[in-house]
């Protein structure tokens, strides 16, 4: 009764051992054999921890060398033709080339995993794609756990429907054909797992919590009839998360053994569906009762109330207690957090603590409320204290959302502003710039760490930062960039840095989560009401501008990215938090403008990731998201040029909202998805300044000048030359100095050549 099942565990390790091993391997400091040994040690350690926490069904297949969707693509032989030269290797060289690119070969596209901050490698299909089972890493992990630890684990795969929905190159009308190609591979895989002794298989189908075409439900039924027939002894759990499923009745009629539902992020819909339609007696319910994607302690009384409702329809022995989704999205453990004290620490729960909460709920389900009386009392006291916290009651929440949005619209239309800005800046055709961040060398990171720990005083640290700013202003001028940046050397993470300078945030020491590949971020925590304290970026930006006659952009993080890049309080609507952030960042915008900074970039790379799974809810989200951005920048003068940056999103889905943001210049990540966006711009023209990234700044492999020229020319086919900017895809923080200089020189050379060609043919004089 009350089985605890985990849907997935963080990969990175308590001290980011996974990240460090991968990066050491990539630079040649760790041989592949040692890398595999370290990854195996981490896999087994994670399994032991979950076993000790009392998890009955422990997932395997959640661990990966880079990304779990990439694991599927490689295992299924879905390798794009451009990697044909690496096919013979079939191992790490091919795998990491698909993830990160190789010399002369573009990496596979990367985009957000639903509405989270995790990025996955997009599977690529063509009409000729013929999936086959080339390897079975799920079987290998299952057998490893069984032989090394004696644990019969639960292999976790992305379900066939979601895999196809997330793939590139499959039109909606060709979805059925792709599924039919893929089903024999899944069937073969399950047969092997069944033969090895697996009992439960988790098939993640989060796409079912989004928009599902009516015609896809018969296809889903076919999928699971085929898989049921292929491995009749396996228990199949179809796992959904991030929202409720609209077609609940059809979902629970699938020929499987269990259905997993998210009872945290479904706004009560799943509970109402079960109460109305019942739950089939032959199925097990995977009850996602603990939040798998935020770091707050669960309200155990509320969770038990949900379980009490479920018990009215489902016997407790057929309820599995689970996180709402994989714990991939939260940090590993609180045990290394030494600085957080009092309620700020007590209110948090990372992956290990969430498994502890599930254990408490299991005890309550098995033995009754009295068995966890003390835990419930402590939990209730915590939530009472949170409600009364002064930091959460700084001002009336309604005052933040009642202002007239028109008050934050720009004073003039874009065409008028553009004339004023061009008269002020006199920029050339196809102006070149960067997205903002420049290489964060080991020297800078070490100095920041020493400064944080008191080993380096403020004066010495500031002197180092100013020296780096001066060095890179000179380098940017020498390269020939038209609009410069100060480099953001004083910043760790774009969200964490600003959060540290705003009231209402708290910070962890080791609260790392995976963003993409080995890239980990440490999201700050919006604990209370947010307010601006003092200028954050003024000193460094003004200093950089004093060193050059060229424009220097002020660099800020936008309210939606601050929101979606943080762990956010859940006691008030996210819209309210976004408007608090917008008001705080607007104070920074106005301080920069008052100091003479006439170009200000307010980045919103995380705008798309906060969008709901269901398109019918996008209008509301994008409405207040755009309002938050305009609330941030709308008070500036016409001559102040507002830039923004978006990355790793399906921009064609939201061009209207991007236009409504009314930024003077927007730069987009497009090198991994260039053709799709160009097609969108052909069908829906963008009428403001726009920069389409000419190379992938996250790949160590730099295209030559001719390739960058080709990309610029493709962009000019869809964007008027007077509106096109030339820039990298994203920031250059993770690149080496040599890579950065070489790539920017090629970019400027490519822009100069195209600029010259346009002048020659009379487009401009």
Torsion of CA 211, 217, 221, 226, to 10 degrees: -70
Judge whether 112 is annotated as a binding position: yes
Which uninterrupted H or E stretch holds 450? helix 442-452
Name the 3-class secondary structure at 427: coil
User: 112: Cβ–Cβ under 8 A, 6 or more apart, which residues?
Assistant: 118, 119, 120, 608, 609, 648, 649
Give the separation between CA 239 and CA 259, rounded to whole angstroms: 6
Judge whether 12 is annotated as a binding position: no
Q: Which residue has the tokens 């726009």?
A: 690
Judge whether 136 is annotated as a binding position: no
Give the separation between CA 69 and CA 485, rounded to whole angstroms: 35
Judge whether 660 is annotated as a binding position: yes
Name the 3-class secondary structure at 483: coil
Give the separation between CA 586 and CA 583, rounded to whole angstroms: 5
Q: 449-457 contacts: CB < 8 A, separation 24 or more?
A: none
Judge whether 43 is annotated as a binding position: no
Give the rounded distance of the alpha carbon of 201 from its chain centre: 26
Count Cα neighbours of 441 within 13 Å in the Cβ-side half-sphere.
11
Give the separation between CA 229 and CA 256, rounded to whole angstroms: 11
Judge whether 108 is annotated as a binding position: no
Name the 3-class secondary structure at 670: coil
User: 121: Cβ–Cβ under 8 A, 6 or more apart, which residues?
Assistant: 66, 67, 69, 70, 73, 98, 99, 107, 108, 109, 110
Which uninterrupted H or E stretch holds 308? helix 300-311
Judge whether 682 is annotated as a binding position: no
Judge whether 689 is annotated as a binding position: no
Give the rounded distance of the alpha carbon of 461 from its chain centre: 31
Q: Give the tokens for residue 282.
A: 């032959």
First to last CA, the chain: 79
Judge whether 435 is annotated as a binding position: yes
Q: How many CB atoms lie within 10 A of CB 88?
A: 9
Judge whether 669 is annotated as a binding position: yes
Contact 99, 22 (CB under 8 A): no
Judge whether 436 is annotated as a binding position: yes
Judge whether 496 is annotated as a binding position: no
Judge whether 647 is annotated as a binding position: yes
Angle between helical axes of 737-760 and 705-716 (0-180°, round to 10): 50
Q: How many CB atoms lie within 10 A of CB 319?
A: 22
Give the separation between CA 244 and CA 258, rounded to whole angstroms: 16
Contact 339, 509 (CB under 8 A): yes
Judge whether 488 is annotated as a binding position: yes
The residues assigned a catalytic role are: 698
Judge whether 418 is annotated as a binding position: no
Contact 238, 259 (CB under 8 A): yes
As annotated, the binding site for L-methionine includes 435-437, 488, 603
As annotated, the binding site for Zn(2+) includes 645, 647, 660, 669, 730
As annotated, the binding site includes 16-19, 112, 117, 435-437, 488, 519-520, 603, 609, 645, 647, 660, 669, 730
As annotated, the binding site for 5-methyltetrahydropteroyltri-L-glutamate includes 16-19, 112, 117, 519-520, 609
């Amino acid at each position: 009764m009350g089985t605890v099942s985990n849907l997935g565990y963080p990969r990175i390790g308590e001290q980011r051992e996974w990240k460090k091993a991968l990066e050491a391997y990539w630079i040649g400091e760790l041989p592949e054999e040692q890398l595999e040994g370290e990854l195996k040690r981490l896999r087994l350690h994670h399994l032991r921890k979950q076993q000790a926490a009392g998890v009955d069904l422990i997932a395997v297949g959640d661990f990966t060398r880079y990304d779990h969707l990439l694991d599927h693509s490689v295992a299924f032989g879905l390798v794009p033709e451009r990697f044909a030269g690496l096919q013979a290797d079939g191992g790490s060289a091919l795998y990491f080339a698909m993830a990160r690119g190789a010399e002369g070969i573009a990496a596979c596209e990367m985009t957000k995993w639903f509405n989270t901050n995790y990025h996955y490698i997009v599977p690529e299909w063509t009409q000729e794609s013929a999936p086959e089972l080339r390897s079975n890493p799920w079987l290998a992990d299952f057998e490893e756990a069984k032989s090394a630890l004696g644990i019969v684990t639960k292999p976790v795969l992305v379900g066939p429907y979601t895999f196809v929905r997330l793939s590139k190159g499959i039109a909606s009308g060709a979805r059925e054909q792709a599924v039919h190609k893929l089903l024999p591979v899944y069937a073969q895989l399950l047969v092997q797992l069944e033969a090895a002794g697996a009992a439960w298989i988790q098939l993640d189908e989060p796409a079912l919590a989004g928009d599902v075409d009516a015609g896809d439900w018969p296809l889903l039924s076919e999928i699971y009839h085929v898989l049921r027939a292929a491995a009749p002894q396996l228990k199949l759990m179809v796992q959904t998360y991030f929202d409720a499923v609209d077609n609940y009745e059809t979902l629970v009629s699938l020929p499987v053994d269990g259905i997993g539902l998210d009872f945290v992020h479904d706004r009560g819909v799943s509970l109402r569906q079960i109460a109305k339609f019942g739950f089939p007696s032959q199925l097990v319910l995977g009850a996602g009762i603990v939040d798998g994607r935020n770091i707050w302690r669960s309200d155990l009384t509320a969770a038990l109330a949900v379980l009490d409702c479920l018990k009215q329809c489902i016997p407790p022995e057929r309820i599995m207690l689970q996180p709402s989704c994989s714990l991939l999205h939260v940090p590993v453990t609180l045990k290394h957090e030494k600085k957080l004290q009092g309620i700020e620490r007590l209110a948090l729960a990372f992956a290990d603590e969430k498994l502890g909460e599930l254990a408490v709920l299991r005890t309550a389900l098995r033995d009754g409320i009295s068995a966890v009386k003390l835990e419930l009392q402590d939990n209730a006291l915590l939530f009472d204290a949170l409600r009364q916290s002064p930091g959460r009651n700084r001002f009336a929440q309604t005052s933040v959302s009642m202002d007239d949005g028109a008050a934050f619209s720009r004073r003039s239309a874009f065409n008028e502003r553009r004339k004023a800005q061009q008269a002020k800046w006199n920029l050339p055709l196809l102006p070149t710039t960067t997205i903002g961040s420049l290489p964060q060398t080991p020297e800078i990171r070490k100095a920041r760490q020493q400064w944080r720990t008191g080993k380096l005083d403020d004066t010495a640290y500031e002197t180092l930062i100013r020296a780096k700013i001066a060095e890179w202003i000179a380098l940017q001028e020498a390269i020939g960039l038209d609009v410069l940046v100060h480099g953001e050397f004083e910043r760790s993470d774009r969200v964490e840095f600003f959060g540290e300078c705003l009231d209402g945030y708290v910070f962890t020491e080791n609260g790392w989560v995976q963003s993409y590949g080995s890239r980990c971020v440490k999201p700050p925590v919006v604990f209370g009401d947010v307010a601006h304290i003092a200028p954050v970026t003024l000193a460094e930006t003004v200093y950089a501008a004093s060193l050059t006659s060229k424009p220097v952009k002020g660099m800020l993080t936008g309210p939606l990215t601050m929101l979606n890049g943080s762990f956010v309080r859940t006691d008030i609507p996210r819209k309210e938090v976004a408007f608090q952030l917008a008001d705080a960042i607007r104070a920074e915008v106005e301080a920069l403008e008052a100091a003479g900074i006439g170009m200000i970039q307010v980045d919103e790379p995380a705008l798309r990731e906060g969008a709901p799974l269901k398109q019918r809810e996008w209008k509301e989200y994008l409405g207040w998201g755009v309002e938050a951005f305009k609330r941030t920048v709308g008070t500036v003068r016409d001559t102040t040029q507002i830039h923004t940056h978006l990355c790793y999103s399906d921009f064609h889905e939201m061009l209207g909202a991007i236009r409504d943001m009314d930024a003077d210049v927007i730069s987009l990540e497009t090198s991994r998805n260039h053709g799709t966006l160009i097609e969108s711009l052909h069908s829906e023209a963008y009428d403001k300044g726009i920069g389409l990234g000419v190379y992938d700044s996250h790949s160590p492999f730099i295209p030559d000048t001719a390739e960058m020229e080709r990309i610029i020319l493709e962009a000019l086919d869809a964007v008027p030359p007077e509106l096109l900017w030339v820039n990298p895809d994203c920031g250059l923080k993770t690149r080496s100095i040599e890579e950065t200089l070489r790539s920017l020189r090629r970019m400027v050379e490519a822009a100069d050549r195209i600029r010259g060609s346009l002048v020659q043919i009379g487009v401009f004089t």
